[in-house]
Structure 1
């Protein structure tokens, strides 16, 4: 027979938690790659784009740190911990804000990331279903 803590964890981890974990993991990897590219002066970023936070290098560090937070949240969500839920909400919230800050350079991409972040926040903030 499984322990009470294991049963509670199994009740919390639903398909939406897995979805949120996968999406946070993908976003984390992409943000780490984009952060490294911005720090190393890659040429695929929009020319003459204005950034709210200083310049491209600073925005690269912000994106890299956000990616690390998202990867940590995804790993914790896969482990089924309550910490992952709150960390996922926090990381998705920062991702939503960050995507709106870069809307001038990449409008469609920014709105897509914003919408996905809001879905992740909603699903993680919902109370687990009680049977």
Structure 2
């Protein structure tokens, strides 16, 4: 048996170089990179969703017959009412998306809340534009996932 103790490499101990990637477990690094990229995409999607919602709202306000309903529905409202809802929500969502892209920490929590509201409202909007509403529901769920999975304290690659 040997009395030798394993000593750390002095070049590593005194170099002062610290690699953030070394702190991330190998199996966690790709997931964190994906989540961080997802957060940027979530900001872009919120910004685009907000602009489209704003335009959708203007169309509904301008002409009450621009969207045709698919029959009776439990959440039936006038298209003008839906237009105002989409207009205001669109402005809030676009501003929040922009703030996420500029790094505002409060915007992530707000983005999750607004995306949840948008998912619910798009479910209620299904009879007017079913494919668009389903696409917005899917995008809203992705935005919620992306904003909830990013860990700001995790090192970036």
TM-score (ref. length: structure 2): 0.68
Structure 2 regions of 5+ residues with no counterpart? 1-34
Partner of 2:57: 35
* Matches of 2:100 and 2:49, distance apart in 1: 14
Structure 1 regions of 5+ residues with no counterpart? 1-12
TM-score (ref. length: structure 1): 0.80
The alignment status of 1:16 with 2:47, answered yes or no, reads no
Q: After TM superposition, which residue ranges in structure 1, 4 or more long, deviate above 6 angstroms? A: none
* Matches of 2:55 and 2:129, distance apart in 1: 17
Q: Rg: which structure is higher?
A: 2
Deviation of residue 35 (structure 1)? Answer: 0.4
Partner of 2:139: 116
May I ask how many residue pairs the two structures share in their alignment?
A: 120
Note if contact 1:50-1:105 (Cα within 8 Å) is conserved in structure 2: no
RMSD: 2.3
* Matches of 2:58 and 2:45, distance apart in 1: 20
